[in-house]
Amino acid sequence: MRSLMSWQSGTAALMTIAITTGAVTPLFTFAPAQAQFNQGQFNINQPRTITIPANVTLPVTYEKEKVIVNPGEKLPLTLRIANDIIDSNRNVLIPANTEVVGELQPVNLPNSNNKKGVRFVARELVFASGRRQQINANSKTLTQTQRISKGSDTGQILTDAAIGAGAATVISLLTGNKKIETLEPIGGAAAGALASVLLRKKQADVFVLQPEEDLDITLLSNLVLSRN
């Protein structure tokens, strides 16, 4: 996995630029309790909330350099926030390494004869304390595939890769590699049907995702966080 050292320099400035929406627009919107605090009327026992607006993109990382899935394959996946997400006062809103729980999902591409893309759909943040927070965010849709041919050497593709069950079955049947470890098991009937298809083909296409480049998530709606 790539080192996160590149995120450390200028992190605060980077995230401030990424999240600011305009020169006269506040970095985040605060609940009335925060406004009262600014006026010296805040009750310290009253919880506060802060809102990260829609369309903000949050960088993510993963324990493997690549994730490989079949077109049409769904795969549960847990990513992590790559670096601290902060507000204009340098308060940490989402700490680095907060889990992002979600799923890789197929996407039907318009005007493409039933071809599919793939994207990560985020459902929940899990903080180090165990607190969970729902999130509505997606990655971009990836459409480019890599071709696996019968008998081909897939060593470079498989290096430091997490592999979905469907993709693992495809690669195993086409290349003869029987030692591919998968993220999720595939049922016997499904594996048998896939094998039957591949016996009539000499190649197949798979998605090879690089999480730190392909799976950064963009908020589809405001993310309201509590600050106690």
pLDDT in tens, 140-167: 999 999 887 776 666 677 778 888 887 7
For the beta carbon of residue 81, count every other beta carbon within 10 angstroms: 20
Task: Report pLDDT for 192.
Answer: 44
Task: Report pLDDT for 46.
Answer: 46
Alpha helices in the chain (DSSP H): 5-8, 11-19, 32-38, 155-158, 165-175, 188-199, 211-214
Task: Report pLDDT for 148.
Answer: 77
Average pLDDT, the chain: 74
Task: Report pLDDT for 154.
Answer: 63
- Calculate the dihedral angle through the C-alpha atoms of 206, 210, 104, 137, rounding to the nearest 10 degrees: -150
**Confidence label for 27 from pLDDT (cuts 50, 70 and 90):** very low
Task: Report pLDDT for 164.
Answer: 82
Is residue 63 within 8 A of residue 52, CB to CB? The reply is no
Task: Report pLDDT for 110.
Answer: 86
Pairwise pLDDT comparison (5 vs 91), residue with the higher score: 91
pTM for the full predicted model:
0.71
